[in-house]
Amino acid sequence: MNIIRAIDHEDMACKAANLIAAQVLIKPKSILGLATGSTPLGVYARLILKQRAAEVSFAAVKSVNLDEYCGIAASDETSYRYYMNHNLFDQIDIDPANTYLPDGMAADFDAECARYDHVIEELGGVDLQLLGIGMNGHIGFNEPCDHFKMGTHCVQLTQSTREANAIYFSRGMEDMPSFALTMGMRPIMQAKRVLLVAGANKKEVIAQALEGPVTPRVPASILQLHPRLTVVYCEQ
Ligand code: GLP
């Protein structure tokens, strides 16, 4: 485990963006596993600047995102598809056809989960997986539970996750979905590299995840077993 301490949020974003850009420079056809939430926003902003400055190109990159809310259309501003298009894909030279997210509007969620696992498999797995972390230790939307779930699955969001994410919905908890589709632990753990970014507000859960026992009760703790985990952690 490689822990990189950042002095502030901007430094964290800069360091993480440098690692992602380096991955793409080394392997232009990289498969990037991407994340949503507020923490990666600065990382994406810096990647956009790097691409505009012709320091890196995403033309040959393909991406798979971790998760999507159930029942939220891609065109809705609160969907993770919208977040990714708006905060990254529309502003870089990636081919939109090469960007994948689960479909939260699918009629059959089991079939959609199987399809998404197949997409990841067909891509040959993830080269670099970017992750944030939830206050309860979730990664993607792998919520605390009795066992680590390996494949893409439909998950009932915990009350604390719903409360934390309700701020993104105009009517708060009233509009906040109760279910999501999330990539499971297999593609995350099989990713060649994992890059976890976390701000100072995640201090306690980061300590639990990286220093505590490996347990599905703290889903991110499984990352202790990843051979190439880099954590960019911001202390203030
Ligand atoms: C959501 C996402 C996670 C993300 C988490 C933390 O729950 N599904 O992938 O890591 O939010 O988000 P933030 O960075 O806003 O704290």
pLDDT in tens, 13-45: 999 999 999 999 999 999 999 999 999 999 999
Pocket of ligand 1, beta carbon within 6 A: 35-39, 66-67, 132-134, 140-141, 161, 165
69 CA to centre of ligand 1 in angstroms? 12
3-state DSSP helix/strand/coil percent for the chain, to nearest 5?
40, 20, 40
pTM exceeding the 0.85 threshold for the entire prediction: yes
Looking at residue 88, what is its pLDDT?
Answer: 98
Q: Name the residue with the closest Cα to ligand 1, atom 5.
A: 134
Q: Is 195 buried (19+), middle (13-18) or exposed (0-12) by CB count in 10 A?
A: buried
For 64, phi then psi, to 5°, come to -125, 130
Annotated catalytic sites, by residue? Answer: 67, 136, 138, 143
What is the distance between the alpha carbons of residues 8 and 141, in angstroms, rounded to a whole number?
Answer: 26
What is the distance between the alpha carbons of residues 209 and 223, in angstroms, rounded to a whole number?
Answer: 8
Q: What angle do CA 179, 182, 185 make, to 5 degrees?
A: 135
**Is the CB of residue 58 less than 8 Å from the CB of residue 150?**
no
Q: Give 226's Cβ-side CA count (13 Å radius).
A: 27
130 CA to centre of ligand 1 in angstroms? 11
- Residue from 72, 139, 165 whose mutation best tests the ligand 1 pocket (most atoms within 8 A of CB): 165
* DSSP state for residue 158 in the 8-state scheme: P
Q: Name the residue with the closest Cα to ligand 1, atom 11.
A: 37
Per-residue pLDDT tens listing for the chain (236 residues) = 999 999 999 999 999 999 999 999 999 999 999 999 999 999 999 999 999 999 999 999 999 999 999 999 999 999 999 999 999 999 999 999 999 999 999 999 999 999 999 999 999 999 999 999 999 999 999 999 999 999 999 999 999 999 999 999 999 999 999 999 999 999 999 999 999 999 999 999 999 999 999 999 999 999 999 999 999 999 87
214 CA to centre of ligand 1 in angstroms? 20
Phi-psi domain of 52 (left: phi exceeds 0; alpha: psi -120 through 50; beta: other):
alpha
Looking at residue 235, what is its pLDDT?
Answer: 80
Tokens describing residue 61: 């990159």
The set of long-range contacts for 20-23, using a CB threshold of 8 Å and a minimum separation of 24, is: 20/47, 20/128, 20/130, 20/195, 21/47, 21/50, 21/55, 21/56, 23/127, 23/128, 23/193
Cross-sheet strand order for the sheet of 153-156: 67-69, 179-182, 153-156
Listed in sequence order, the residues at least 6 apart from 161 whose beta carbon sits closer than 8 Å to its beta carbon are 134, 135, 136, 138, 141, 143
Per the DSSP assignment, residues forming a β-bridge with 70 are none
